[in-house]
Each structure stands twice: as structure tokens, then as C-alpha cells.
């Protein structure tokens, strides 16, 4: 009986951050789970279509990756989500799995949790992303993606964990969630912050990090903060590059395999 693992992420069309943040985890899983066939699946059809049209790169969506496993004679499949929160993309993944299972009852499929799923995940993420040497009048502002899904509250909860561990001068804003940079700037001013360290809280440092966060255009977070009188220091590393973050995804995969 063959066993397989599908590493499922939203995906990205940026080659270098794909290598650093997605392929690095896929390769690590291949090393640590050598008895399994490991395949890639993206949950964003938009990214899949763009890669195919622009670069001639073919990436399976999750259903196609499961079908590929079936063709290979694999009957036991584990899917490890590389999503950050249990939001729309993660739920879409679960629905695709359920639809597949209904039609392929001879194949078992189990899904590993995204990065932030239970309280231990929040604790582990905070320990993984060490906030060192934050000086007086400095603050860290993370950019998360955000969502209109109820799981958007994951970001404000994580902010509480960060503040408890390190400093009250740590903020998590989002591009598409309930807490945006507009909500954070008045708090920075009130705290007399003069320097902001901008860090993406996303699996990959892709379009949102490169353009919306760190871009030179006037509506980027960096530009808006500078206009408001803050010094800005930018980091452009996705979470997937961090081995301690990778540890959490691997732990989730081990949990679903062992249980």
C-alpha cells in the first residue's frame, strides 16, 4: 500500500520566494518522510494559471495532486497545509478533499492543520520569531494577509501572545482583514514611536510584501509610515524560510500521520 504526502500552499508566482519558502519545506518533508511520495499542490487557481501561461510551469491544484497519487497507486494520503490560518483557503482545501473522498472511497486522506490552529501553535510561533533588541521608541509591525473569514481574529490573538512574550510595541496589521495600518498608526503616535520595523507575516514574501508593504509607491505601508514621520526598516523574508516555523508545519504533519 503506497503512502503519499501533498504539501498544499496558496502558492506564489515569484520564483525566488517560492524556492525559499515553499520548496524548502517540500524538500525538508521529503528528507524527513523518506518512505512517502511527496507532491506539491497549490490552492490558488489564479497562481496556477499565471505560472502556466507566463512560465510554462505546471502545478497541480489539490484535487489534481490527489488524482496523481491515485494514478501512482497510492491509497493513503496525508496533506500538510502551509496556510497561516484556518480561513477560506484552508476550508477550500478541506472541501476539495471531502469531494475527492466521496468518489474514491478506497483512498484515505487526512489533512494537517495550518500554522495557527490551537494555543500551542501561537506559543510556538512566538518562540520561533524572536523579537530581539527592540529599543525605546521602536516598534515592530507585522503585515498579515487578513480575511473576511472569522479566523481573521487569529492575528489579534497572536499579537497578544507576542506582547506577552516580548513587548507592548508589537503590532499585527493586515492587508484584507479587520485591523489595517490605519488602525495602527494612531497607536504608534500615542506611544511616541519613532522607528518601525516592518516584517511580513506571510508564508512567502510575494506580491503583498514586495509591493503593498515595502514598495516605493505612495500607498505602500513603508511610504505611508514615512509620510507620517517614522523611520522604517524593512524585512523581506517569508515565514517559510524560518526553520523554526517549518518545525511547526512538520509537527502538524507528524500529528496527523501518527493519529
Active site residues: 145
Phi, psi of 31 (to 5 degrees): -70, -45
User: Residue 14, annotated ligand binder?
Assistant: no
CA distance 69 to 72: 5
User: Residue 92, annotated ligand binder?
Assistant: yes
254: closest CA among 40, 36, 9, 18?
36
139: closest CA among 225, 246, 41, 54?
225
Q: What angle, rounded to 10 degrees, do the helices at 62-71 and 88-103 form? A: 30
User: Residue 241, annotated ligand binder?
Assistant: no
User: Residue 184, annotated ligand binder?
Assistant: no
User: Residue 204, annotated ligand binder?
Assistant: yes
User: Residue 77, annotated ligand binder?
Assistant: no
User: Residue 216, annotated ligand binder?
Assistant: no
User: Residue 250, annotated ligand binder?
Assistant: no
Whole-Å CA distances, 218 to 71, 156, 178, 181: 50, 26, 22, 14
User: Residue 10, annotated ligand binder?
Assistant: yes
Question: For the purposes of burial, counting CB atoms within 10 Å of the CB of 186, is it exposed (0-12), middle (13-18) or buried (19 or more)?
Answer: exposed
**Per the structure block, which three cell numbers stand in for 255?**
500529528
CA distance 110 to 66: 12
User: Residue 91, annotated ligand binder?
Assistant: yes
CA distance 161 to 119: 10
User: Residue 85, annotated ligand binder?
Assistant: yes
Q: How many CB atoms lie within 10 A of CB 149?
A: 16
Instruction: Report the binding-site residues for Co(2+).
Output: 10, 145, 176, 208
Instruction: Report the binding-site residues.
Output: 10, 85-92, 145, 176, 203-204, 208
Instruction: Report the binding-site residues for substrate.
Output: 85-92, 203-204
Amino acid at each position: 500500500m503506497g503512502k503519499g504526502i501533498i504539501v498544499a500552499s496558496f502558492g506564489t508566482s515569484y520564483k525566488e520566494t517560492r524556492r525559499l519558502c515553499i520548496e524548502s519545506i517540500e524538500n525538508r518533508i521529503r528528507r524527513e518522510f523518506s518512505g512517502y511520495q511527496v507532491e506539491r499542490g497549490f490552492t490558488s487557481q489564479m497562481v496556477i494559471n499565471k505560472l502556466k501561461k507566463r512560465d510554462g510551469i505546471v502545478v497541480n491544484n489539490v484535487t489534481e495532486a490527489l488524482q496523481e497519487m491515485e494514478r501512482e497507486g497510492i491509497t493513503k494520503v496525508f496533506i500538510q497545509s502551509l496556510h497561516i490560518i484556518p480561513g477560506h483557503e484552508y476550508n477550500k482545501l478541506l472541501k476539495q478533499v471531502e469531494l475527492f473522498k466521496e468518489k474514491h472511497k478506497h483512498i484515505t486522506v487526512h489533512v494537517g492543520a495550518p500554522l495557527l490552529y490551537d494555543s500551542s501553535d501561537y506559543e510556538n510561533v512566538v518562540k520561533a520569531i524572536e523579537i530581539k533588541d527592540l529599543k525605546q521608541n521602536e516598534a515592530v509591525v507585522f503585515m498579515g494577509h487578513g480575511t473576511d473569514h472569522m479566523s481573521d481574529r487569529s492575528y489579534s490573538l497572536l499579537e497578544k501572545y507576542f506582547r506577552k512574550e516580548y513587548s507592548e510595541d508589537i503590532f499585527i496589521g493586515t492587508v484584507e482583514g479587520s485591523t489595517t495600518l490605519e488602525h495602527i498608526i494612531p497607536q504608534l503616535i500615542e506611544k511616541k514611536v519613532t522607528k518601525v520595523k516592518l516584517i511580513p507575516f506571510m508564508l512567502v514574501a510575494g506580491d503583498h510584501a514586495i509591493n503593498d508593504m515595502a514598495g516605493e509607491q505612495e500607498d505602500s505601508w513603508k511610504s505611508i509610515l514615512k509620510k507620517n514621520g517614522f523611520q522604517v526598516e524593512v524585512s523581506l523574508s517569508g515565514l517559510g524560510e524560518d526553520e523554526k516555523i517549518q518545525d511547526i508545519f512538520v509537527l502538524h504533519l507528524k500529528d496527523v500521520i501518527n493519529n
